């Protein structure tokens, strides 16, 4: 039996989640997602051919590092995610661990996940997903800002989060609610973006097969 796609896993989760929270709160999140799709990908988001920027990051153990140091001159698939609090992110990272990481390792490409949460949050993501790839914190979304992919929940969505007993700002290193759009970038050894996939609707994600195809396509050029 084949492993379900990320989309199928998210569909299954969403059906149960919406049944749990009810129609009113479900409509709040649905309206937020529709508004995000309508606005589209920000015009300034980095795209294929752009040079990857650098920024200071923090490891899950709390040590200072930088984006360039984490890449270490190697081809890298970089995943921006919202945080350990986000069920869609958790589904995605677990699937990348199971389906994507082995394929990347076979091709000599590393996998790096980045969020604006505290190092403790990064450690939680690693533990919860049994992740064997690098997970880093991007305090104040400095790197995500340079990639042009920062957003934040709508006022109504934050109110819904509060009603459900949660606030994004409590998880973020800078205590704001700003988060990156879930995005996947392939950056080559020279630091050039070779693949970019920005998802403004946080309930959709890049499937592993598409990333592997992008890696293979870049290797054959």
Distances from the Cα of 221 to the Cαs of 193, 210, 212, 214, 216, in angstroms? Answer: 14, 17, 15, 11, 9
Going by DSSP bridges, is the β-strand pair 183-187/76-80 parallel, antiparallel, or unpaired?
antiparallel
On the question of pLDDT at 1 being above 90, the answer is no
* Domain edges within the chain: 6-220
Distances from the Cα of 119 to the Cαs of 28, 43, 72, 132, 139, in angstroms? Answer: 30, 30, 21, 16, 9
On the question of pLDDT at 168 being above 90, the answer is yes
Q: Which residues of 10-24 are buried (b: 16+ CB within 10 A; e: fewer)?
A: beeebeeeeeeeeee
Going by DSSP bridges, is the β-strand pair 76-80/134-137 parallel, antiparallel, or unpaired?
unpaired
Distances from the Cα of 158 to the Cαs of 16, 24, 184, in angstroms? Answer: 21, 14, 25
Q: Centre a 10 Å sphere on the Cβ of residue 49 and count the other Cβ atoms it contains.
A: 9
Report the SS3 class of residue 198: strand
The predicted-structure confidence for 148-167, as pLDDT tens digits, reads as follows: 999 999 999 999 999 999 99
The predicted-structure confidence for 185-202, as pLDDT tens digits, reads as follows: 999 999 999 999 999 999
pLDDT for res 110: 97
pLDDT for res 33: 96
21 close to 108: Cβ distance less than 8 angstroms: no
134 close to 70: Cβ distance less than 8 angstroms: yes
Q: Considering the domain 6-220 in this protein, what is its CATH number?
A: 3.40.30.10
What's the predicted TM-score (pTM) here? 0.96
pLDDT for res 81: 98
Rounded to whole angstroms, the Cα distance separating 137 from 215 reads: 25
Sign of CA dihedral 218, 66, 72, 116: negative
Q: What is the rounded end-to-end Cα distance, in angstroms, of the chain?
A: 34
3-state secondary structure 73-119: CCCEEEEECCCCCCHHHHHHHHHHHHHHHHHHHHCCCEEEEEECECH
pLDDT for res 2: 65
User: How large a percentage of the chain has pLDDT more than 70?
Assistant: 99
Rounded to whole angstroms, the Cα distance separating 127 from 135 reads: 11
Rounded to whole angstroms, the Cα distance separating 150 from 146 reads: 9
Residues with Cβ within 8 Å of residue 205, at least 6 apart in sequence: 6, 7, 10, 88, 91, 92, 182, 199
């Amino acid at each position: 039996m084949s492993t379900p796609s990320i989309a199928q896993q998210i569909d299954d989760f969403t059906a149960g989640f919406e049944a749990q929270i009810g129609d009113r709160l479900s409509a709040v999140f649905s309206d937020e997602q529709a508004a995000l799709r309508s606005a589209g990908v920000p015009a300034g988001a980095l795209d294929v051919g752009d040079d990857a920027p650098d920024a200071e990051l923090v490891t899950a153990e709390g040590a200072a590092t930088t984006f360039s140091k984490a890449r270490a001159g190697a081809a890298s698939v970089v995943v921006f995610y919202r945080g350990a609090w986000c069920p869609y992110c958790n589904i995605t990272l677990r699937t990348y661990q199971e389906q994507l990481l082995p394929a990347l390792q076979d091709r000599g490409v590393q996998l790096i996940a980045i969020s604006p949460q505290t190092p403790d949050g990064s450690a939680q993501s690693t533990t919860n997903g049994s992740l064997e790839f690098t997970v880093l914190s991007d305090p104040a979304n400095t790197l995500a800002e340079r990639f042009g992919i920062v957003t934040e929940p709508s006022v109504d969505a934050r109110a819904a989060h509060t009603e459900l007993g949660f606030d994004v700002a409590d998880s973020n290193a800078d205590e704001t609610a700003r988060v990156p759009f879930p995005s996947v970038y392939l950056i080559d050894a020279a630091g050039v973006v070779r693949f970019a996939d920005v998802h403004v609707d946080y309930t959709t994600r890049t499937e592993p097969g598409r990333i592997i195809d992008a890696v293979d396509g870049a290797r054959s050029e």
